[in-house]
Chains A and B, each alone.
Chain A
Amino acid sequence: ETGVTQSPTHLIKTRGQQVTLRCSSQSGHNTVSWYQQALGQGPQFIFQYYREEENGRGNFPPRFSGLQFPNYSSELNVNALELDDSALYLCASSGSSGWTWEQFFGPGTRLTVL
Chain B
Amino acid sequence: AQSVTQLGSHVSVSEGALVLLRCNYSSSVPPYLFWYVQYPNQGLQLLLKYTTGATLVKGINGFEAEFKKSETSFHLTKPSAHMSDAAEYFCAVTDNAGGTSYGKLTFGQGTILTVHP
Contacts and interface: CB of A to CB of B under 8 A. Distances in A.
Interface of A: 4, 31, 33, 35, 40-45, 48, 50, 55-56, 58, 90, 92, 94, 98-108
A27 B90 CA distance: 25
A58 B104 contact: yes
Interface of B: 4, 32, 36, 41-46, 49, 51, 90, 92, 94, 101-110
A100 B103 contact: yes
30 contacts: A31-B102, A33-B105, A35-B105, A40-B110, A41-B109, A41-B110, A42-B4, A42-B90, A42-B92, A42-B108, A43-B44, A43-B90, A43-B107, A48-B103, A48-B104, A50-B102, A56-B102, A92-B44, A98-B101, A99-B101, A100-B103, A101-B32, A101-B49, A102-B49, A105-B36, A105-B43, A105-B45, A106-B43, A107-B42, A107-B43
A103 B106 CA distance: 12
A108 B24 CA distance: 27
A26 B41 CA distance: 20
Contact of A48 (B42, B102, B106, B110): B102
Contacts of B4: 42
A45 B105 contact: yes
